[in-house]
Amino acid sequence: MKKKTDIICRAVDVKKTYWRGKVAVEALRGVSFDIKRNAYISIMGPSGSGKSTLVHIFSCLDTPTSGEYYLENALVSKYSDEELARVRNIFFGFIFQSFSLLPRLSALDNVALPLIYRNISKHERIAKAKEIIENVGLADRMLHRPNELSGGECQRVAIARALVNDPKVIFADEPTGNLDSKTGAEIMEIFDHLVDEGNTVVMVTHDVNVAAHARRTVKLKDGLIAND
Amino acid sequence: MIELLSKFTLSFQTFKTHRLRSFLTMLGIIIGVTTVIAILSLIEGLNRTVAEQVKSIGSDLIFLQKFSWVSTGHRDLDKLAGRPDLLPDDAEAITKLSSVEIAIPQTSRQLQILKYKDNEVSNSSLAGSDENYAWVNNYIVESGRDFSRDDVLHRRAVGIIGSYIATNLFPDETAVGKDLHLNGHRIKIIGVFKEKGTFLGNSLDDFILIPYTVFEKFFPRPRGTLWSRVYGGYSIGIKAKDGMKIEETIDQVRELMRRRHGLGFDKEDDFELNTQQILMDLYQSITNVGFIAIVAIAAISLVVGGIGIMNIMLVSVAERTREIGIRKAVGASNNNILAQFLIESIVLALVGGLIGIVFGMLLAWLISAVSPLKASVSFWMILLGFGFSASVGIFFGIYPARRAASLNPIEALRYE
C-alpha cells in the first residue's frame, strides 16, 4: 500500500517516434523512470535529447508510441484525449519558459483558469485563485494583465496557476530561461520552498545552477537516460 | 447555466478587443436579417390591411354572379355572356331557403359627372338595390332615412348617397332633401351613408344608391355589348343565416339555381358563387410566391454572412493557437475548446442578428412613415431573426471550432 502511493508516475520502456514529413525521429528510445512523491528532479540534456518529449509524456500532453506509463498505478498511456485532459487538470501543474499566460485575462483570471475546467463555481474559483496569488506575493497586482507585469511577476502568476488545482506533480520547462539571474534565483527559491512544503517538482533545464537546486538530476542523451 | 453565461461574457471580451473586425464580420448577418425583418414586416402589414379589407366584405356574404371573381387564364366572355341573367325573382326565391337570412338584387353602373350648383364629382357609381342593401353590405344611414319597401315597389325616385359625394357636392349644406340630376333624371336624396373607407384602394363612399326598380326604369341595360351582358345586369347578394356554415348555404343556393335554370346532372353550373374566401385565397397564393422569394434572398445573404463568420473564426483559431495549447495543457478537453469557439461564433452571429432585427424594425418603421405601406412587426419575426442567426453561427462555427478542438496541445504550445 505504501509503495503504491509513493510512486506517482512510472514510465516503463517508453519509446516515442515522431514523423517529421517522411523522416522518423526517435525522440525516446526506451526510457524507464519513476517519479516519487515529494521528489525534486531536474532533467538535463542537449537539445534533441528527448527531455521535452519525456516531460510531455509524463505530463500526459502526449502518449508514448510504445511502452507503458502509469499514473498512481493506472495505465494512462491508452487513455483517450478527453481522459488525458482530465488527468492533466487534476494531477499536474505546468510552468513554461515563456510564462504562457493568456494576454486578455487578468493575473487573477489566469490563475483561476484550470479551475474552469473542473466545474467549480466562479465564486470558489476566484476565492481559491486569490489565496494562491497572495501566497506568491502578488496580492496587489492580481487585477493587472500580463503585459502590465514584469517577467518575474509573470512567472509567479504562472506558478500560482500551476498550484491552483493542488497538483500531484508540477512540471516546469526552463522556468528561468526568460528571466535575469536575480529574478531566476527568486523563482528557484519559490520552487525550493514548494518542495519543502511537500510538493513534487520536475524541471527541464539547460542551466547547471538551476539543476543544482534539485535533489535528483537525470541526464538524457539521444533518447536514452545517460545518467541518473 | 452560470458556466454557459460566463462563457458568453468571455466571448464578448473577445469582440471588445477586435471591435472593427467583429463588426465587419457581423455585417453580412446584419444586412441579411435587416432585409428579412423589414420586408417581412411590410408584407405582414400588407397582409393585415388586405385581410381587414377583404373581411369587410363580410364572411357571411355570398355573391351570385355570372362570372367568378378569380379566374385562371383566359376568361371566355362569349360563354359567360350566354349564361342566363340573374333576376330579382331569383333573390326572392333564394331568400326563402332555410340557410339564407336574406338575398338582394344588386346592379350598378358608372356615372360620368354629378353636379350640384358649382360642385361636381366624376366617375361615381350608381347602384340599384332594395331596402335591405344597407343592412346586407354593412352601411349605416347617418342622416335622413333608409329605403322603405314602398320606395322600391312604387319606383320612387329617391336615393341615398355615400359620404364622399355628400362632402364633395354639399360641403356647406345638408344633402338630405336636395335633388340630383342623373343623366337627366331627377332623384331626391333621402339619406346619407356613414363613411366606410376604402376597399383595395377604391372608395366605398363614392356612390348613390337608388331602388333597383328605378334603376331599371331610368337606365335600361344596353344589351348589345358582350361586356354588359356579362358584367351588367344583376348580381344577387346573399347573407347566410347566423351560425350557419357558409358552405351549406352555398350548396343550398347552388341546388336551387340549378333547378331554376333547369340544369341536368351532367351540366356544369351556369353561374358563380363568390365569397371573400376566394379573394383571400387568391391574395395568399400571390404573397406566398413573394414569401418564397424573401426566404431565398434571406438564405443567400445569411450564407454570405455565415462564410464571413467562418472566415474570421478560422483566423481567430489560428491567432489563438497558443491560447488553445495553454488551455489544453491546464486541462481543457477537446469539447471545452469546441464549446468555447462555437459559443464565440454563435454570439457573433446572434449579436449581428440582434442588430439586424433592430435595424429591420427601424427600416420598416421608416418606410411606413414615408409611404402608404403599413409595417407590422410580429414576435415570430424576431424569433425567426434570432433562430436564423443562431443557426448560421452554429453551422458556420462548427468547422473552425472543430479545428481548434483537434489541435495537438504540444504543437499548439510551440506555436508563436
| Dihedral sign, Cα of residue A14, residue A19, residue A20, residue A24 | positive
Q: For the structural domain made of A37-61+80-227, what CATH number should be given?
A: 3.40.50.300
Q: Residue B330 is nearest to which of A82, A119, A161, comparing CB atoms? A: A161
- CA-to-CA distance for B103 and B136, rounded, in angstroms? 8
- pLDDT, residue B10, reads 65
| Residue B172 touches partner A, C-beta closer than 8 Å | no
Give the mean pLDDT of A183-208.
90
| Residue B330 touches partner A, C-beta closer than 8 Å | yes
Judgement on whether residues B299 and B262 belong to the same structural domain of the protein = no
From B229, B259, B274, the end of a domain falls on B274
Let me know how long chain A is.
228
End-to-end C-alpha distance for chain B, whole angstroms: 34
- In total, how many domains does chain B have? 2
CB contact under 8 A, B334 and A94: no
CB contact under 8 A, B6 and A122: yes
Judgement on whether residues B313 and B349 belong to the same structural domain of the protein = yes
Confidence of residue A3 (pLDDT cuts 50, 70, 90): very low
CB contact under 8 A, A117 and B331: yes
Residue A109 grid cell: 483570471
- CA-to-CA distance for B301 and B356, rounded, in angstroms? 12
Judgement on whether residues B226 and B286 belong to the same structural domain of the protein = no
Q: Residues near B24 by Cβ (< 8 Å), separated by ≥ 6?
A: B308
| Residue A124 touches partner B, C-beta closer than 8 Å | no
CA dihedral B342, B347, B353, B355 (to 10 degrees): -160
From B222, B252, B274, the end of a domain falls on B274
The pairing of strands A216-221 and A224-227 is antiparallel
Judgement on whether residues B293 and B402 belong to the same structural domain of the protein = yes
CB contact under 8 A, A85 and B327: no
A102 CA: distance to closest CA in chain B (Å): 6
The pTM of this model reads: 0.71
Which residues on adjacent β-strands are paired with residue B26?
Answer: none
State residue A39 phi and psi, 5-degree precision: -75, 160
pLDDT digits (tens, 9 = 90+) for A116-127: 888 888 899 999
Let me know how long chain B is.
416
Judgement on whether residues B189 and B251 belong to the same structural domain of the protein = yes
Write the ipTM. 0.91
B97: closest CA among B211, B234, B246? B246
pLDDT digits (tens, 9 = 90+) for B158-217: 999 999 999 999 988 898 999 998 888 899 999 999 998 877 778 889 999 999 999 999
B238: closest CA among B97, B86, B107, B62? B62
Q: Residue A89 is nearest to which of B330, B335, B409, comparing CB atoms? A: B330
- CA-to-CA distance for B82 and B230, rounded, in angstroms? 8
Domain range for B220: 61-274
- Please report the beta strands in A124-177, taking only residues with DSSP state E, as ranges in sequence order: 169-173
Taking CA atoms, what residue in A is nearest to B410? A61
Judgement on whether residues B301 and B403 belong to the same structural domain of the protein = yes
Judgement on whether residues B263 and B293 belong to the same structural domain of the protein = no
Taking CA atoms, what residue in B is nearest to A53? B410
pLDDT digits (tens, 9 = 90+) for B122-153: 889 999 999 999 988 889 999 999 999 999 99
Judgement on whether residues B264 and B328 belong to the same structural domain of the protein = no
Does the pLDDT at position B257 exceed 60?
yes
Give the mean pLDDT of B325-354.
91
pLDDT digits (tens, 9 = 90+) for B259-308: 999 988 888 899 999 988 888 888 888 888 888 888 788 788 888 889 99
CB contact under 8 A, A104 and B13: yes
Judgement on whether residues B7 and B153 belong to the same structural domain of the protein = no
Judgement on whether residues B153 and B230 belong to the same structural domain of the protein = yes
A192 CA: distance to closest CA in chain B (Å): 22
| Chain A residues touching B329 at Cβ < 8 A | 59, 61, 88, 94, 100
From B239, B274, B309, the end of a domain falls on B274
| Chain A residues touching B332 at Cβ < 8 A | 85, 89, 116-117
CB contact under 8 A, B330 and A114: yes
DSSP state of A180: -
| Chain B residues touching A81 at Cβ < 8 A | 333-334
Q: Residue B3 is nearest to which of A59, A62, A119, comparing CB atoms? A: A119
| Residue B284 touches partner A, C-beta closer than 8 Å | no
Judgement on whether residues B384 and B369 belong to the same structural domain of the protein = yes
| Residue B5 touches partner A, C-beta closer than 8 Å | no
- CA-to-CA distance for B189 and B312, rounded, in angstroms? 75
Judgement on whether residues B112 and B257 belong to the same structural domain of the protein = yes
pLDDT digits (tens, 9 = 90+) for B13-44: 666 777 888 888 888 889 888 988 888 888 88
Q: Residues near B402 by Cβ (< 8 Å), separated by ≥ 6?
A: B338
- pLDDT, residue B132, reads 92
Return the number of CB contacts < 8 Å for A and B: 63
